[in-house]
A and B are shown apart, each in its own frame.
Chain A
Amino acid sequence: MKRIWTLASKDFLETRRDRLALLFTVVMPLAFTAFFGLMFGGGSDRLPLAISSADHGAPATQLVSALARSGVVKTEMMTKDDAEKAVDDNKVAAALEIPAGFSAALAAGRPAELTLVSTAGSSGAQTVQTEVSALAGPLAAGERAAQAAVAVAGTPPGGDSGASAQDLKDAALLMARPLAAQSLAQPVATVRVVEAGTAAGQIPNGFVLSSPGMLVNFILFSLLTAGIALIQERRNFTLQRLMTTRVRRWELIAGKAVGMFALTFVQQIILIGAGQLLFGVDYLRDPAALLLMMVALSLFASTLGLLLAAVLSSEQAMIATTVIVSMSVAALSGAWFPLEITGPAFQFVGHLLPTAWILDGLRGIIVRGFGVADVLPAFGVALAWSAALFALAVWRFRLSD
């Protein structure tokens, strides 16, 4: 075990000193995340919100205006049916229905209810709900306060005609305070959430799309560094020399695999950290589920890298093959564009690869709050693939050309 760790540490040290590796493993992924994120609309983090209003009173109009000015949502007025269809089609994060009588209820001091239709577990919908509640609450409270003020204004303050203006003002405030307090104590506008179907088809956008995509893409791309290092070791006979020491063949292969795993895992920590801090992608909604996906991705990448380096004999072949394999796998898995916008055949082919499952898992964690149980299938698929790749790599592993 000690020798495996020593072998892995040595590989890690060599990679850390390789400036070109730094470019491929950290700089380029971040640049591409920013590029694709902005291309997919990552610059605007406003969530699309469909609004259907059956009420044309002043409070309803004010609410629609306030939401239109919001920095959180991007509104679009629709009919109720179109709004619900937009939710079903994943075109909006949620649909807000303002019922007839909303304004009248507020005016009468009755609780007013808004309906928010969204997909189950949608994080976007949760954000929308918070924003609608935040804007509707003060609106309703303001309406109640105005009603209280009107009530006070309609009541003569009494006393002799010689009362001063200050006396009148004080008397009005004395009467208005309990009325306003009574009104504000009652429930104001509430938001009822109606979940429509599941969020399986919800398409994330912006950095939520690009960050995990580029993570998978460049983790696969970093196989280039590790694979070339292994080929160089074979060509400069250090692999052979290792076999003249007490190292056993299985220890050597395991050491190489652990080295690749460590490299890709650290790369993931950096890229996910950058995604969280720089691009606002919420990877940490379920750290345990995230850890499972990271392990799955590193397992797949390291065993694939080991196999490529075992099979290929030249650096040129490694470069060409890694570029083709990593790009193809990334594209098929939905790293560049969501598989949801593709046809069923493409999605089927994509999900033959573990990276498509891992991307589903990662985006599920970010967008839908997936937990460990939700990502276990993805982990299982990656584990099965990794076991097969590792067996092939061990079988084909050579010490010399």
Chain B
Amino acid sequence: MSIVEVQELCKQYDPPKGVLAVDGVSFHIDKGEIFSLLGPNGAGKSTTISMLSCLLRPSGGDALVDGHSVVTDSQAVKEAIGVVPQDIALYPDMSARENLLFWGKMYGLAGAELHARVDEVLELITLVDRQKDRVEKFSGGMKRRVNIGVALLHKPRVLYLDEPTVGIDPQSRRSILDGILALRDQGMTILYTTHYMAEAQELSDRIGIVDHGKMIAVGTNEELVRSVGEEAHVELSVDHYLEGMVERWADVPGVTKAMIDEERAVLLVQDANEVLPRLFEAAAAAGSRITEVNVTEPNLEMVFLHLTGRALRE
């Protein structure tokens, strides 16, 4: 059963000639699932979340969140959602507890319920011991945890997380990802945006890949990988003659796509074990020496590459 229904959502800044940041995006999120919007920076992920948060008015289309339109019933939508923005949207010279109390009041909590909920969230983000410290003294990971905790105060039915792991250390990232999975296990519906393929792959029940404001593919991780023919991703560096080699490798049997990405050749191949010897032979025949080889089994990065012809930068 869908709790979020996005229908042909559009956002054009400064119409009629302005940038079309989101171009007819449609998807749905089922209750209790993690849905990730995966795409490079500038793909339209944050703009989509802003419209679903009622911060931006769509130029076209609509979205229903918990049955309420983001266009006509924004207050009801806001009651249903919790938003974790990409930036640390906290007050640095206030303590973690003061921040949570303030935001709790903004979400309509008060009195004993507010204090009880703040205590629960502090437990959840494991900052009980540091609750009286000012946020400005926290590490990046701790700030991120408070940033997430704020959005959980009013027990939202849908949680939006906009790239919540940007700029933090691996240990904090792991902690946040585990926390998100725990929330899903408790039944919360989560909309997650990221440009980290590995995060989308690990977290998501379903993934929507966006690029240039369009939704270019939607499905489970397996469905998406299958959609590109389960091809392996081979990156090769040569000592010279890179452009000529890419043209030669494109004709090698088993290679379905060959392109240059910066100083490397990037190939999509059906079976890496079978194709690799042929690639070395072709290089030797052309007088080039392969200096580095990386083989990656089919994943979302390759799906993106296959669909857009460009790499999804980590």
Contact = CB atoms under 8 A, between A and B. Distances in A.
Nearest to A17: B93
A245 B53 CA distance: 9
Q: Which interface residue of A3, A17, A244, A399 has the most chain B CB atoms within 10 A?
A: A244
Pick from A13, A14, A245, A399 the residue with the most CB of B within 10 Å. Answer: A245
A236 B106 contact: no
Contacts of A2: 105, 110
Interface residues of A, number: 21
Interface string A382-399: 000000000000000001
A153 interface: no
Contact of A241 (B85, B93, B94): B85
B53, B102, B150 — most chain A CB neighbours (10 Å): B102
A181 interface: no
B107 A245 contact: yes
A244 B78 contact: yes
B78 A245 contact: yes
Interface in A244-276: 244-248
A355 B87 CA distance: 40
A399 B55 contact: yes
A236 B143 CA distance: 13
A238 interface: yes
A17 B108 CA distance: 26
Interface in A206-222: none
Contacts of A17: 93
A240 B85 contact: yes
B79 to A, nearest CB: 7
A133 to B, nearest CB: 58
Interface string B69-87: 0000001001101010111
B89 A240 contact: yes
A1 to B, nearest CB: 12
Contacts of B102: 6, 10
Interface string A6-24: 1000100110011000000
Contacts of A10: 91, 94, 102
A236 B107 CA distance: 19
Interface range on chain B (Cβ under 8 Å from partner): 20 to 34
A202 to B, nearest CB: 47
B87 A3 contact: no
Interface in A339-380: none
A241 B83 contact: yes
A236 B87 contact: yes
A18 B106 contact: no
A243 B56 CA distance: 10
B90 interface: yes
A244 B53 contact: yes
Given A237-B85, A238-B91, A241-B89, A246 B105 contact: no
A247 B105 CA distance: 10
Interface string B94-118: 1000100011011110100000000
Given A14-B94, A17-B93, A236-B89, A244 B81 contact: yes
A203 interface: no
A245 B55 contact: no
B226 to A, nearest CB: 37
A246 B81 contact: no
A238 B79 contact: no
B54 interface: yes
B89 A246 contact: no
B101 to A, nearest CB: 9
B88 interface: yes
A244 B55 contact: yes
B106 A245 contact: yes
A242 interface: yes
Of A10, A18, A247, A248, the most chain B CB neighbours within 10 A belong to A10
A10 B87 CA distance: 20
A3 B104 CA distance: 11
Given A18-B93, A246-B79, A236 B88 contact: yes
Given A236-B87, A236-B89, A238-B91, A243 B55 contact: yes
Given A18-B93, A238-B89, A3 B105 contact: yes
Given A237-B85, A241-B83, A241-B85, A246 B90 contact: no
A134 to B, nearest CB: 56
Contacts of B108: 245-246
Given A18-B93, A237-B87, A237-B89, A242 B55 contact: no
A241 B78 CA distance: 11
Nearest to A244: B83
A185 B16 CA distance: 97
B288 to A, nearest CB: 50
B4 to A, nearest CB: 15
Contacts of B83: 241, 244
A248 B108 CA distance: 12
Interface string B153-196: 00000000000000000000000000000000000000000000
B135 to A, nearest CB: 11
Interface centre among A242, A246, A248 (most CB of B within 10 A): A246
Given A246-B78, A246-B108, A14 B85 contact: no
Given A10-B94, A237-B87, A399-B55, 13 more contacts: A2-B105, A236-B87, A237-B85, A238-B89, A240-B55, A243-B55, A244-B83, A245-B106, A246-B79, A246-B106, A246-B108, A247-B106, A248-B75
Interface of A: 2-3, 6, 10, 13-14, 17-18, 236-238, 240-248, 399
22 contacts: A2-B105, A3-B105, A6-B105, A10-B94, A14-B91, A14-B93, A236-B89, A236-B90, A237-B85, A237-B87, A238-B90, A241-B83, A241-B89, A243-B54, A243-B55, A244-B78, A245-B106, A245-B107, A245-B108, A246-B75, A246-B106, A399-B55
